[in-house]
Structure 1
Amino acid sequence: MTSPRTFVIVGGVAGGMSAATRLRRLDEHAHIIVLERGAHVSFANCGLPYHVGGVIADRNALILQTPATLGARFALDVRVRTEAMAIDPATRTVTIRDLTSGDEQRLHYDALVLSPGAAPLRIPIPGVERGFVLRDVTDMDAIIAAATDARRVVVAGAGFIGLELAENLRHRGLEVAVVEMLPQVLRPFDLEMAHLIAERLRENGVELHLGTTLSGIEPDHVILDGGASTLPADLVVLSVGVRPESGIARDAGLARDSRGYIIVDAEQRTSDPAIFAVGDAVVKQRFDGDPSPVWLAGLANRHGRLAADVIAGRPHAAVPAFGTAVIGVFGLTAAVVGRSERELRNEGRAIRVIHTHPMNHAGYYPGAEALSLKLIVDAETDAILGAQAVGGGAEKRIDIIATAMAGAIPARALADLELAYAPQFGSAKDPVNMLGYVDDNLLDGEKSVQWHELSDRVAEGWRLIDVRTETENAAGAIPGSELLTLDGLRDHVDSLRGERVIVTCKVGQRGHTAAALLRQYGVTVANLDGGYTTWRAGMAATDGVANNPLPAVAA
């Protein structure tokens, strides 16, 4: 018999523990050692903000496994408060240190899996040591202890974790302000979609300071924009980004990218064939664009399992990452997949953009909620490049679109997806189907104009015709628009011939009907995509500034 192999995993939680338990299932006789620098090897890190707010009341519910339970079920040698100090690829050894006793030893490995994760950034500003971060259970406990005597909290960073913390600190009854250097919350979303989330935050008492830089932390306040203003703060939480914990990989000579993320192949193998890497410290191959980090627990779990399969002789390639993510903010769901319009236009890509605003299920069934959807499509191939959703049922629609992207289903074919329907769950024409219908119309020649292109089109001489009702128009209209209701539009066709016309309604559907009508009478016409609803969100997100925040493209 051959001697049992030894596998060492550096880092627990999602990626590392997935690798360890999968290896045990595939190799009962291997010696599997898991090293975790922290106090807990397996915990629900995505649940940490919700214990801060008391939504998850039981702290122990976040502790998924312990060294004892993992040892009993999987015969794993799990060592917490133990740090991997150095790797010697030549001798296949890793030097480790017991952080309690200070003792060091060298472990031999036949295969090594690195899952060190990414650490919260501590920006180089005065007083940064006063700021709390949230990465593990110990950090969570520290924030809860500090919040007990606090009244005013500043959260630096409006990403997913920052907003989850802001919501949960509000649940504790604290005054919360969020400081974000970008002009919006949640960078993966485009401006007009992110604005819907910002509105919900403000409605629930969260103070937003967007386009604002945190410059210093004092005992009772923070300094903004280099001293231009201050905010009172008894507690400051930093959620401004992460950096990969890849120093041990660097020192071992493993290949990393310019940002310090570990480079792996399609089988999670590093530049050393005996060393694998998974999780937040690793660069991922994206379905579109250059490889980049993707900080998602689902990917870490999948890649940990994949690395174990490869080590055990069952190799297969990782699927490119789509970056599918979701967040709930004060009862509002927001989900995203793929690339944003902002990114793609900055790259000069030819794209089509579609906004719709359906109800999440049949409007006549009680409890229907508004849903805002955005689809970004390659103008040449009809490939789906990204989607964003905010509102009721957002996660369901984004999951469907993510699955369509994985199956290389073109945007037009969304119209033909057979999706479950009953009035309380959806509509006979599901919102995803409707995106396919709109794309089909655009492929068949209908022209559209985006909210951020409108001012340029009007300046070029296009007439803007509002086809809503008189009541809707009186309640709010785009400046410079002319009211010609849809039902009376045929009576005005002669006055529009020879003109370039943009039609607008509430969400774009009546605009499509108006555009189809006018086109058959020979009028040059385009529909304002997403209608007044999208335009209003976009303008509100830019404080009503008329200058386009994105490059204009041909209508």
Structure 2
Amino acid sequence: MKMIIIGSVAAGTSAAAKARRNDENIDITVYNADYDISYSICGIPYFLGGEVENLSSLTPRSAAWFKDRYNVDIFTRHEVTQINTDQKEVVVKDLETGKTKMDTYDALVLATGASPVTPNIPGVYKEHVFQVRTIQDTSAIDQYMKQENPQKATIIGAGYIGLEIAEQLTHKGLEVTMIQRGSQVMPNLDQDMAFRVEEELRRHGVQLFLNEEATSIEDQSVTTKSGQSIQSDIVILATGVRPNTKLAEKAGIKLGSTGAVAVNSKMQTNSPDIYAVGDVAESISFITGEPLYRPLGSTANKMGRIAGDVITGGDLEHRGILGTGILRVFNLAVGQTGLTEKEAKEHGYNTDILYNIKPSKAEYLGGKELVIKAVADRHTGRILGVQIVGEEGVDKRIDIFATAITFKAKAEDLFHLDLAYAPPFSTTKDPVLYTGMALHNSIQNKNRLITPGELIERMENGEALQIIDTRVEKQFKVSHVPGAINIPLSQLREIAKNLNHDLPTITYCNSGVTGNAAQNMLINMGVKEVYNLSGGNKNFQSYIKH
């Protein structure tokens, strides 16, 4: 049996390795148009910033290594230019010599990846303008920085790569400006979480231009749509990627609604014996069952392994993804999994939203604050998605939530998780457990939550509300929700007798716990409709900033 793989980064090499592990006799050939194989795209920003000392650290595997270990023939600088599906053959061009040859296959794996989107901006091909995708790109940026010693950098685009590059170039001593077409950085987050990342960027001197576009790139500056002229010695394009589907389209292979190659759970395309994996392939949302395109190295490795297994008689299947991701932005870690609030509502879910502000470990051991936004389905109680921002403990919690969502956990299930506890690592009631408890109570209408956005909407609609700030007077005077009355929790039992028990009532404290205690007290005293402001005054004040 002969297996040909087109592309040799994460997905292609994963498919080759799994096929070899399953079958010692299969003939495996890999064609790769690039110079390098199996390299870490995600590690590139950290080399440019100096955290990774040697570029070779990002390319730990060579064609010779794969030949020795897996008996796989990898041909770099060889581009497959055509697939003849009827004859099961490919046309291969040697990019060094210009010669072409034919090769045949029994199984063909498309692992052609994705390419950076090049915006249509005059000056985009100037020598100080770079994209960040390959080892060759990285080497070119590194050489330019060593030779020209740029002092001012402009990054166009504020997704994962753009933010990582911004952090790293700032650490390297450059003045960094970011231009983002949309109204927020990290478009995959809800805006009320993304603005926390924006604040962190500004704290570290990064200048942000949101709702802005670059209209031209000159030798020493970038001009924007609003007429701003930004001094720039180096420009990084971080405007996203698109799947490399031209070869597939030319062969009559079907694309999905996301624009990537459509595949089934076994990574098979509509063309017999042709598979697609990694950044060129469409995935599926584990929650909605709908097509989803989130090009990540972890997903690419998984897809490649599945294809390699299926081709050699295995029964692995792709179950879908949540789009889980995490990155570091200076002192913050930012994690996300599943649906955002916006996405959940777009898919028709009746949601319950919790903002949970808790320390990542015991405060007496220096525990730093985590802000967790959790989205649940009120009808089923199922957790739909979580976003977390904090200085520590984000990775641990986002992985717990991703695991729980994968196994279709409900809010109440989170509370019953038997998580590891010791003061240096957690609190007795871990933020994950509290998230489950508070969301479940809200879904069951025992302790209803109200988000800052929902409260503001009701206030703007002129609804008569009773808003009670349960903090001490000193805190109340610093900041509070408009229209709130200050009744510290210690006085609430006595004063509550004079409150209007028929009026919708909102309680809050600084972050939520005391507000919840006040909510329980008023419910037990007969107040008919009581909500606790999710995330408390701290979250409300942050919300109105954005």
Query: TM range, normalised to the smaller chain?
Result: over 0.9
Q: What is the 5 A alignment of 1:329-368? A: 329-365=329-365, 367-368=366-367
Q: Structure 2 CA distance, aligned partners of 1:57 and 1:177?
A: 25
CA contact (8 A) 1:191 1:538 kept: no
Q: Give the secondary-structure state (helix, strand or coil) at the position aligned to 1:441.
A: helix
Q: Structure 2 CA distance, aligned partners of 1:379 and 1:536?
A: 26
| Residues 320-351 of structure 1, C-alpha deviations (whole Å, 9 max, x = no match) | 11111110111311111000001222344201
Q: Structure 1 CA distance, aligned partners of 2:388 and 2:536?
A: 16
Residue of structure 2 equivalent to 1:204:
204
Q: Structure 2 CA distance, aligned partners of 1:489 and 1:469?
A: 12
CA contact (8 A) 2:257 2:291 kept: no
| Residues 485-540 of structure 1, C-alpha deviations (whole Å, 9 max, x = no match) | 11111122133223222112111111111111111222232111111122122212
Q: Give the secondary-structure state (helix, strand or coil) at the position aligned to 1:132.
A: strand
Matched, 1:96 2:99: no
Amino acid at match of 2:510: K
Q: Structure 2 CA distance, aligned partners of 1:157 and 1:123?
A: 10
| Residues 129-149 of structure 1, C-alpha deviations (whole Å, 9 max, x = no match) | 233111111111112223332
Shift in Å, 1:179: 0.9
Amino acid at match of 1:141: S
Residue of structure 2 equivalent to 1:137:
135
CA contact (8 A) 1:281 1:293 kept: no
Matched, 1:273 2:272: yes
Matched, 1:529 2:534: yes
| Residues 160-184 of structure 1, C-alpha deviations (whole Å, 9 max, x = no match) | 1110011111111100011111211
Residue of structure 2 equivalent to 1:504:
508
Amino acid at match of 1:251: K
| Residues 404-463 of structure 1, C-alpha deviations (whole Å, 9 max, x = no match) | 111122111100000001000001111100011102221332222111122222231112
Residue of structure 1 equivalent to 2:397:
397
Q: Structure 1 CA distance, aligned partners of 2:382 and 2:257?
A: 30
| Residues 48-103 of structure 1, C-alpha deviations (whole Å, 9 max, x = no match) | 11000000012111112111111111111111111110100100001111111001
Q: Structure 1 CA distance, aligned partners of 2:387 and 2:379?
A: 21
Q: Give the secondary-structure state (helix, strand or coil) at the position aligned to 2:278.
A: coil
Which residue, out of 44, 50, 61, partners 2:40?
A: 44
Shift in Å, 1:258: 4.3
| Residues 1-50 of structure 1, C-alpha deviations (whole Å, 9 max, x = no match) | xxxx1111101110000001111111212221111111101211110110
Q: Give the secondary-structure state (helix, strand or coil) at the position aligned to 2:215.
A: strand
Matched, 1:481 2:480: no
Mark the runs of 5 or more structure 1 residues left unpaired by the alignment. 542-555
CA contact (8 A) 1:412 1:437 kept: yes
Larger displacement relative to structure 2 (317-326 or 477-486): 477-486
Residue of structure 2 equivalent to 1:188:
188
Q: What is the 5 A alignment of 1:381-420? A: 381-391=380-390, 392-420=392-420
| Residues 264-317 of structure 1, C-alpha deviations (whole Å, 9 max, x = no match) | 000000001210000111110111232121111111101101001100011232
Q: Give the secondary-structure state (helix, strand or coil) at the position aligned to 1:129.
A: coil
Q: Structure 2 CA distance, aligned partners of 1:540 and 1:34?
A: 52
Mark the runs of 5 or more structure 2 residues left unpaired by the alignment. none
Residue of structure 2 equivalent to 1:159:
159
Residue of structure 1 equivalent to 2:221:
221
Amino acid at match of 2:196: L
- Percentage identity across paired residues of the two chains: 35
CA contact (8 A) 2:14 2:301 kept: yes
CA contact (8 A) 1:264 1:271 kept: yes
Residue of structure 2 equivalent to 1:19:
15
Runs of at least 4 residues of structure 1 off by over 6 A?
none
| Residues 234-282 of structure 1, C-alpha deviations (whole Å, 9 max, x = no match) | 1111111111101000000001024431000000000012100001111
Residue of structure 1 equivalent to 2:374:
375
CA contact (8 A) 1:473 1:483 kept: yes
Q: Structure 2 CA distance, aligned partners of 1:438 and 1:91?
A: 61
Q: Give the secondary-structure state (helix, strand or coil) at the position aligned to 1:249.
A: helix
Q: Give the secondary-structure state (helix, strand or coil) at the position aligned to 2:45.
A: helix
Shift in Å, 1:217: 1.3
Q: What is the 5 A alignment of 1:81-92? A: 81-92=77-88
CA contact (8 A) 1:377 1:411 kept: yes
Residue of structure 2 equivalent to 1:468:
471
Q: Structure 1 CA distance, aligned partners of 2:538 and 2:2?
A: 60
Q: Structure 2 CA distance, aligned partners of 1:135 and 1:208?
A: 23
Residue of structure 2 equivalent to 1:549:
none
CA contact (8 A) 1:362 1:425 kept: yes
Q: Structure 1 CA distance, aligned partners of 2:418 and 2:170?
A: 41
CA contact (8 A) 2:411 2:437 kept: no
Q: Structure 1 CA distance, aligned partners of 2:317 and 2:542?
A: 41
Amino acid at match of 1:249: A
| Residues 215-243 of structure 1, C-alpha deviations (whole Å, 9 max, x = no match) | 22111111212x53221111111111111
Calculate the aligned-residue CA RMSD, in Å: 1.3
Amino acid at match of 2:89: T
CA contact (8 A) 2:258 2:292 kept: no
CA contact (8 A) 1:158 1:239 kept: yes
Residue of structure 2 equivalent to 1:305:
305
Larger displacement relative to structure 2 (10-19 or 181-190): 181-190
Q: Structure 2 CA distance, aligned partners of 1:359 and 1:452?
A: 24
Residue of structure 1 equivalent to 2:296:
296
